[in-house]
């Protein structure tokens, strides 16, 4: 059974960088596409970006200038960094696995999510 677990600081100061890690168990991360998705309290879902290979990433244009995603095959982890955060970046952040079915981009496995609050 594939399991995803997000981790990182729950509180980040404005203008600083938000860093999160998703640890995957039950399968290797290497053959799959992995996305980050966030959800402000009481609001809908926003897709942040996805990574396959270290140089194969697609980012949401709304976040692209501030976003970096990476993979660590040795630790079976994916990570994201979002710079220059503001209160608008406060949300629950999820990592999710994209289905391996070619041409399909829906999410079959999700982490439980981690709340990140941006506040001084």
Partner 1 sequence: ERVMTQSPDTLSVSPGERATLSCRASQSVSSGLAWYQQKPGQAPRLLIYSVSTRATGIPARFSGSGSGTEFTLSISSLQSEDFAIYYCQQYDNWPLTFGQGTRLEIK
Residue ranges that bind partner 1, judged by CB under 8 A: 35, 43-47, 58, 60-62, 94, 96, 99, 104-108, 110-113
Nearer to partner 1, 59 or 90 (CB): 59
Compute the least distance from the CB of residue 66 to partner 1, in Å.
15
Token pair listed for 71: 């993979």
Token pair listed for 26: 């039950």
- Please say whether the beta carbons of 16 and 34 come within 8 A: no
Token pair listed for 87: 């209160």
Distance of CA 25 to the CA centre of its chain: 16
Nearer to partner 1, 21 or 58 (CB): 58
Nearer to partner 1, 45 or 52 (CB): 45
């Amino acid at each position: 059974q594939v399991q995803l677990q997000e981790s990182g600081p729950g509180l980040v100061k404005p203008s600083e960088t938000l860093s999160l890690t998703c640890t995957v168990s039950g399968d290797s991360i290497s053959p799959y596409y992995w996305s980050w998705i966030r959800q402000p309290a009481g609001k809908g879902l926003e897709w942040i970006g996805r990574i396959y290979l270290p140089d194969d990433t697609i980012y949401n244009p709304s976040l692209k200038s501030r976003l970096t995603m990476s993979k660590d095959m040795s630790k079976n982890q994916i990570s994201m960094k979002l710079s220059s955060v503001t209160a608008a970046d406060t949300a629950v952040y999820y990592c999710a696995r994209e289905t391996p079915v070619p041409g399909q981009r829906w999410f079959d496995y999700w982490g439980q999510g981690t709340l990140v609050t941006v506040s001084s």
